[in-house]
C-alpha cells in the first residue's frame, strides 16, 4: 500500500513546466471543519446582528452604501460625491469632503471621554508601571508634538516624514501629530535595519526621521538610535539628505543610546518639548482624498512598494470595520498584539479603535517574555475584553504555555486572528483555552493594500468555521477567477485567484511614485478593457489563492507571488536574494519558504559561490548577516545552505521548486529534465544528514534544523497528525492524504495554461464537494529575473 501510494505521489509530482516556486506551493491545507456557534452573551451585546445588512450592502447599491461608513466620522465639510470612478483604477472617495484624522481620533472624544484611557502603554519590563494615557493627555501631547513638528521642523501638509519607532505610546502620538498637520507619515517596523529604513526614507523623500534611543525586546534594552545614523548615511548614498533626526527617549530625561547625537542634525524630542508646552494646533482641514500615510510592503520585485492611503476613505473604512467586525464599544479595552510598524497596527491599534474612543493597549515587547503567562496577566490587569493577534503568536503561546490562560482571571468577548491561515487545531486552542469558550473569533483576511478587513465572518451574524476566513464583509464582493478569467462559483471545488469586484474606501490610492506598478500588479490581470471607465471592469487582484465553499465562506490558501509570509509578515524573496548577492563570494542565491510550526513560513537561503571558493561556516554566517543588515532580523534565513551548484533548467533558470521540496523534506518529483539532475541528490543527501550540514558542501548558519512536522515519512506522519491534526502539506502535487484518497473521490482539474493566463501565476486544486482539499497544485509565473550574476539587481541594494 505504502509503496503504491509512494509511486502515485511520484507520478503526480512530475515537475510543472514552470521553473519556480512560491509560498503558495507549500501552503498548509486542512480538512473542512464543522461550524462553531457564537457564544450567546456576545450576540446579545453585539453592534451588528441584523442580517439585512447584506441586502443594504448589495453590489447593486454600490457605492451609496459607503455613506454609512463616512457618517461614523466628524467632517468639517461634507463630501459632494461618495465615489469618483472617473479614472480607473484610481478611485477617489468622499470627494469634496474636508476632514482631519487626528481630530476624529482625539478631539472629538474630549467632551464625553476626556478622562478615559486612550492608550495603555505596557512596558516589557514587568517592574515598570503601565502608563495610562487619557484622551485629554493624548490631546495635549499630540498638540505639543504637532507644534514642534510645524515650528521646529517646518513641516506642512503633504510633506512626508519617516518614523522608525518601537511599540511605545509615543508612536501613536507621533502619527496623530503628523495627521493633525496633514503630514504623511511612513512608519518603518522598528525591527527593520537602518538600511531598510533608508530605502523608505529616500523613496518617500522624507526630510525628517523620527526615532527612539532604545527599547526593550526579549528582556534586553536594544540600541536603536544607531540605526538612524545608518539610515542617514545610506540615504545620502542614494543622493537623499535627511535634515533632521528627532529622537524620543525611552526614559524621558535620560539618553539611553550609545550612539552620539550629531550636532545640528539630531535632536532629543524630550529636550525640545518644554518649549511647546501648552501649545494647541488647529487640526488642518484636509481634503478627504489627501494621503494619511505610506506603508511599505513587499512585492514580487526587490523594491518594497509604498501603499498610499487616503484620509477620508481609509479612516471611514477602519472605523466601520472596528465597530462592526471588531465589535468595539467605547467602554471596551482592546488589545491588538500586532506591531504598529505593520498595517494591522495602523488600522486596528491606532486609527480604528481611537476613532471609536476605545482604550487601546500598546505592548512594547515579546508576548512570551518573561514567560508565556504574560499576555494573560496583562489582560487580567487591564480588563482587556477584545483580543487580536496572529496565528504565529497563538502557536507560540500554545507551545510554550498551553495551560497558562486558565490561570488568569480575564474574560474576552471577542478575539481576532489575522495575517496567515490558522490551522484548525490552533484555532480550537484559541477558542477553548484562550477564549474560554466565551469569546467569538473572527479570522480576518486582508492586506496592507486594502487598508482594512475584506473577508471575515460578522461576529454577531455568522457561525464560525475554523480555518475559513468567512464571506466578504458587508460591501465587499469577492470573486474567484481561474486563469481564463472565468468565475469559479461557490462550492465548485476549485481554487483560483481571489479578487474583489468593487472598489471600497479602504483600498490604497496608489503605490507611491509608481502608478504603473499599481495598475500592473493589482488590476491588469483581470481588467477586460484598459480603456473602460466602468469600475465593474476593474476587479482588484489580491495575489492570494483561495477557494469558496457552498456556504459562501472563503478559505485563503496562500500567496501566489514571490512573497514569503514569515510570522504573518510579508518579505519579498527578491529582497532576501539581493541581500545575499551583496556578499562578494556569492554568485547565485535562491530563497524558498519552509513550513515552520510556529512562524508559518521561514526562508531557507541557498547560495552558490564563485568558482574556486571553499564553503565555510563563516561564509554562511556572513550571508545571513548581510540579510539581517539589509532587511532586519525578521528576514534572517533559517539556514544558509551553500551548494555546489543550483538545480537548473536547460535554459539556466534556477529551479526553486526543487529546492523548496528539499527544504520541506518532500519529494522533488522527476528532475530528469534538469540540466544538472545529479546536483539534486547531492544537495538532498547533504541536507538530510545533520552531521554533514557543517562539514563539507553545505553549511547551516543556524545550526541543526528542528524536526519538521511536515515531513511525510511514515514515522513522522503520526507526529504531524498529533500536532496539527488534519493539516497536510501540499506541494504542486497531491498531499499524502490525497494520495491515500481513492482516485474516484478526487476531482482532478488538470492544469490549463492559456495565452490569456500570460505570465501570471495560477492555482488549481481538487476539492471534494464538501470543500475538503484533496489535492492542490500551483503554477507560478515564470520569473523574468534571475538571481544569478546577470541579475540587474546584482551588487545593488535590494530595496527602495
Ligand atoms: C495573508 C496583513 C490567511 C495573505 C493584514 C495576504 C491571510 C497577506 C490572512 C497580507 C488570513 C492575511 N488568512 N491569510 N486571515 N490575513 N493573510 O499585507 O496572504 O502584511 O495577502 O497584511 O497575508 O499581508 P499584509
The mean pLDDT value for 203-228 works out to 98
Ligand 1 centroid vs 559 CA: distance in angstroms? 9
Residue 402: CB atoms within 10 Å:
12
Res 450 pLDDT > 80 = yes
Res 743 pLDDT > 70 = no
Angle between helices 135-151 and 170-181 in degrees, nearest 10 = 60
Work out the mean pLDDT of the chain and round it to a whole number: 83
Q: Does residue 294 have its Cβ closer than 6 Å to ligand 1?
A: no
Give the span between the Cα atoms of 378 and 408, in whole angstroms: 10
The mean pLDDT value for 7-21 works out to 36
pLDDT > 70: percent of the chain: 81
If pLDDT is split at 50, 70 and 90, which confidence band does 787 have? very low
If pLDDT is split at 50, 70 and 90, which confidence band does 723 have? very low
If pLDDT is split at 50, 70 and 90, which confidence band does 562 have? confident
User: What H or E segment, with its residue span, contains residue 102?
Assistant: helix 101-105
If pLDDT is split at 50, 70 and 90, which confidence band does 656 have? confident
Res 473 pLDDT > 60 = yes
Let me know if 634 is exposed, middle or buried by CB neighbors in 10 A (0-12, 13-18, 19+).
middle
Tell me the pLDDT tens digit for each residue of 88-119. 999 999 999 999 999 999 999 999 999 999 99
If pLDDT is split at 50, 70 and 90, which confidence band does 200 have? very high
Peptide bond preceding 370: is omega within 30 degrees of 0, i.e. cis? Answer: yes
Residue 717: CB atoms within 10 Å:
16
Res 454 pLDDT > 50 = yes
Res 719 pLDDT > 60 = no
pLDDT at site 687 = 58
Ligand 1 centroid vs 92 CA: distance in angstroms? 24
Q: Does residue 450 have its Cβ closer than 6 Å to ligand 1?
A: no
Q: Does residue 416 have its Cβ closer than 6 Å to ligand 1?
A: no
pLDDT at site 686 = 62
The mean pLDDT value for 469-496 works out to 93
The mean pLDDT value for 198-204 works out to 97
The mean pLDDT value for 751-770 works out to 33
Res 277 pLDDT > 50 = yes
Tell me the pLDDT tens digit for each residue of 400-430. 999 999 999 999 999 999 998 888 889 999 9
Pocket test for ligand 1, best of 26, 352, 445, 560 (most atoms within 8 A of CB): 445
Residue 402 corresponds to which cell in the numbers above? 498551553
Closest CA to 363 of 216, 145, 178: 216
Res 650 pLDDT > 90 = no
Tell me the pLDDT tens digit for each residue of 234-260. 999 999 999 999 999 999 999 999 999
Ligand 1 centroid vs 253 CA: distance in angstroms? 40
Decide which of 687 and 730 is more confident. 687
Contact call for residues 163 and 185 (beta carbons, < 8 A): yes
Note if the pTM is more than 0.85.
no
If pLDDT is split at 50, 70 and 90, which confidence band does 729 have? very low
The mean pLDDT value for 35-43 works out to 97
Work out which ligand 1 atom sits closest to the CA atom of 444.
15
Res 488 pLDDT > 50 = yes
Res 765 pLDDT > 70 = no
Looking up cell 504574560 gives 374
The mean pLDDT value for 70-81 works out to 98
Work out which ligand 1 atom sits closest to the CA atom of 469.
15
Q: Does residue 22 have its Cβ closer than 6 Å to ligand 1?
A: no
Sign of CA dihedral 70, 73, 77, 78: positive
Tell me the pLDDT tens digit for each residue of 576-622. 888 998 999 998 899 999 988 898 889 999 999 988 999 999 999 99
Q: Does residue 121 have its Cβ closer than 6 Å to ligand 1?
A: no
Work out which ligand 1 atom sits closest to the CA atom of 456.
15
The mean pLDDT value for 208-228 works out to 98
pLDDT at site 300 = 64
Q: Does residue 95 have its Cβ closer than 6 Å to ligand 1?
A: no
The mean pLDDT value for 440-454 works out to 98
The helix/strand/coil state of 159 is: coil
Ligand 1 centroid vs 640 CA: distance in angstroms? 26
User: What H or E segment, with its residue span, contains residue 68?
Assistant: helix 67-70
Amino acid at each position: 500500500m505504502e509503496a503504491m501510494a509512494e509511486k502515485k505521489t511520484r507520478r503526480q509530482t512530475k515537475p510543472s513546466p514552470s521553473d519556480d516556486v512560491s509560498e503558495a506551493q507549500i501552503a498548509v491545507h486542512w480538512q473542512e471543519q464543522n461550524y462553531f456557534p457564537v457564544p450567546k452573551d456576545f450576540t446579545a451585546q453585539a453592534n451588528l446582528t441584523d442580517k439585512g445588512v447584506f441586502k443594504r450592502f448589495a453590489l447593486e447599491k454600490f457605492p451609496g452604501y459607503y455613506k454609512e461608513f463616512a457618517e461614523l466620522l466628524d467632517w468639517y465639510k461634507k463630501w459632494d460625491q461618495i465615489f469618483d470612478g472617473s479614472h480607473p483604477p484610481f478611485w477617489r472617495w468622499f470627494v469634496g469632503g474636508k476632514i482631519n484624522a487626528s481630530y476624529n481620533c482625539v478631539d472629538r472624544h474630549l467632551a464625553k471621554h476626556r478622562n478615559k484611557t486612550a492608550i495603555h502603554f505596557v512596558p516589557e519590563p514587568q517592574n515598570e508601571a503601565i502608563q495610562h494615557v487619557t484622551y485629554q493627555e493624548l490631546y495635549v501631547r499630540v498638540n505639543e508634538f504637532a507644534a514642534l513638528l510645524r515650528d521646529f521642523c517646518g513641516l506642512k501638509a503633504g510633506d512626508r516624514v519617516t518614523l522608525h519607532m518601537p511599540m511605545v505610546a509615543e508612536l501613536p502620538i507621533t502619527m496623530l501629530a503628523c495627521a493633525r498637520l496633514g503630514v504623511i507619515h511612513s512608519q518603518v517596523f522598528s525591527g527593520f535595519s537602518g538600511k531598510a529604513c533608508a530605502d523608505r526614507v529616500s523613496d518617500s523623500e522624507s526630510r525628517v526621521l523620527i526615532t527612539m534611543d532604545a527599547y526593550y525586546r526579549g528582556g534586553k534594552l536594544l540600541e536603536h538610535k544607531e540605526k538612524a545614523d545608518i539610515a542617514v548615511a545610506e540615504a545620502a548614498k542614494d543622493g537623499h539628505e535627511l535634515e533632521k533626526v528627532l529622537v524620543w527617549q525611552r526614559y524621558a530625561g535620560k539618553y539611553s543610546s550609545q550612539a552620539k547625537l550629531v550636532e545640528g542634525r539630531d535632536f532629543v524630542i524630550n529636550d525640545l518639548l518644554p518649549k511647546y508646552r501648552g501649545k494647541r494646533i488647529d487640526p488642518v482641514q484636509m481634503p478627504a482624498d489627501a494621503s494619511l500615510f505610506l506603508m511599505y510592503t513587499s512585492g514580487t520585485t526587490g523594491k518594497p512598494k509604498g501603499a498610499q492611503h487616503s484620509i477620508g476613505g481609509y479612516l471611514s473604512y477602519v472605523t466601520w470595520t472596528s465597530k462592526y467586525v471588531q465589535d468595539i464599544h467605547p467602554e471596551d479595552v482592546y488589545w491588538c498584539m500586532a506591531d504598529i510598524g505593520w498595517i494591522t497596527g495602523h488600522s486596528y491599534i491606532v486609527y480604528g479603535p481611537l476613532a471609536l474612543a476605545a482604550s487601546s493597549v500598546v505592548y512594547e515587547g515579546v508576548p512570551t517574555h518573561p514567560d508565556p503567562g504574560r499576555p494573560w496577566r496583562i489582560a487580567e490587569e487591564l480588563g482587556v475584553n477584545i483580543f487580536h493577534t496572529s496565528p504565529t503568536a497563538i502557536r507560540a503561546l500554545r507551545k510554550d504555555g498551553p495551560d497558562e490562560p486558565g490561570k488568569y482571571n480575564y474574560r474576552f468577548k471577542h478575539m481576532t486572528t489575522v495575517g496567515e491561515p490558522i490551522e484548525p487545531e490552533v484555532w480550537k486552542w484559541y477558542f477553548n483555552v484562550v477564549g474560554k469558550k466565551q469569546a467569538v473569533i473572527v479570522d480576518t483576511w486582508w492586506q496592507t493594500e486594502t487598508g482594512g478587513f475584506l473577508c471575515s465572518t460578522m461576529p454577531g451574524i455568522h457561525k464560525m468555521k475554523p480555518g475559513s476566513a468567512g464571506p466578504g464583509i458587508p460591501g465587499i464582493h469577492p470573486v474567484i477567477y481561474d486563469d481564463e478569467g472565468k468565475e469559479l462559483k461557490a462550492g465548485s471545488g476549485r481554487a483560483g485567484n481571489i479578487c474583489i469586484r468593487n472598489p471600497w474606501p479602504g483600498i490604497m490610492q496608489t503605490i507611491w511614485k509608481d502608478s504603473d506598478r499599481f495598475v500592473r500588479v493589482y488590476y491588469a490581470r483581470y481588467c477586460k478593457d484598459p480603456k473602460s471607465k466602468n469600475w465593474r471592469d476593474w476587479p482588484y487582484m489580491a495575489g492570494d489563492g483561495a477557494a469558496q465553499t457552498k456556504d459562501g465562506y472563503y478559505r485563503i490558501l496562500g500567496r501566489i507571488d514571490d512573497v514569503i509570509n514569515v510570522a504573518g509578515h510579508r518579505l519579498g524573496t527578491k529582497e532576501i536574494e539581493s541581500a545575499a548577492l551583496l556578499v562578494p563570494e556569492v554568485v547565485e542565491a535562491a530563497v524558498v519558504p519552509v513550513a515552520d510550526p510556529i512562524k508559518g513560513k521561514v526562508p531557507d537561503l541557498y547560495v552558490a559561490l564563485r568558482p574556486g571558493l571553499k564553503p565555510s561556516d563563516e561564509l554562511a554566517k556572513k550571508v545571513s548577516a548581510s540579510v539581517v543588515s539589509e532587511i532586519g532580523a525578521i528576514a534572517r534565513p533559517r539556514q544558509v545552505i551553500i551548494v555546489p551548484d543550483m538545480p537548473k533548467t536547460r535554459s539556466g533558470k534556477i529551479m526553486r521548486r526543487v529546492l523548496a521540496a528539499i527544504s520541506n523534506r518532500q519529494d522533488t518529483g522527476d528532475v530528469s529534465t534538469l540540466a544538472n539532475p545529479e546536483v539534486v541528490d547531492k544537495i538532498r543527501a547533504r541536507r538530510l544528514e545533520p552531521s554533514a550540514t557543517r562539514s563539507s558542501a553545505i553549511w547551516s548558519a543556524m545550526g541543526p534544523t528542528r524536526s519538521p512536522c511536515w515531513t511525510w515519512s511514515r514515522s513522522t506522519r503520526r507526529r504531524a497528525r498529533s500536532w496539527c491534526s488534519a493539516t497536510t502539506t501540499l506541494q504542486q502535487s497531491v498531499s499524502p492524504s490525497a494520495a491515500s484518497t481513492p482516485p474516484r473521490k478526487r476531482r482532478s482539474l488538470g492544469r490549463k495554461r492559456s495565452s490569456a493566463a500570460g505570465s501570471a501565476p495560477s492555482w488549481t486544486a481538487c476539492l471534494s464537494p464538501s470543500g475538503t482539499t484533496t489535492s492542490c497544485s500551483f503554477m507560478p509565473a515564470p520569473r523574468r529575473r534571475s538571481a544569478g550574476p546577470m541579475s540587474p539587481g546584482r551588487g545593488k541594494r535590494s530595496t527602495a
